[in-house]
Amino acid sequence: MDDIRIRCPKCEWEPDGKPYWSCTCGHVWDTFSTGGRCPSCSKVWEDTECIDHAGGCGKTSPHLDWYEGLEDIVAQLKAEILERWHEGVAH
């Protein structure tokens, strides 16, 4: 994972691993530790807000756009995240 950088696609703010994101269920966590899924209620957040009070721009971008790095590694990570989003979902 060392080759992947996570940053806001709009302002380059980098999350510092703190729990800035809150879910509609009331849970607060670091959305990048779970690939955008709430660990409490399993809701998937496909968009991620940039945290303005932590130095970000406050704008919302697609979660997957936050990942930057070697093309194939990022592509694999994104595929894994999408797989996790869709697993357990009834079709």
The two structure tokens encoding residue 24 = 């509609």
- Contact of 58 with 65, CB cutoff 8 Å: no
For Zn ion, the closer CB: 6 or 23 = 23
For Zn ion, the closer CB: 23 or 77 = 23
- Contact of 52 with 40, CB cutoff 8 Å: no
CA distances from 19 to 36, 40, 45 (A): 12, 13, 14
Q: Tell me: does residue 6 bind Zn ion (CB under 5 A).
A: no
Q: How many chain residues are in contact with Zn ion, going by CB under 5 A?
A: 14
Q: How many residues does the chain have?
A: 91
Q: Tell me: does residue 13 bind Zn ion (CB under 5 A).
A: yes
Cα maximum dimension of the chain:
40
For Zn ion, the closer CB: 10 or 84 = 10
Stretch that binds Zn ion, among 28-36, 38-46, 67-75, 82-90 (CB under 5 A): 38-46
Q: Tell me: does residue 44 bind Zn ion (CB under 5 A).
A: no
Please identify which residue in 15, 36, 48, 50 interacts with Zn ion, judged by CB under 5 A: 50
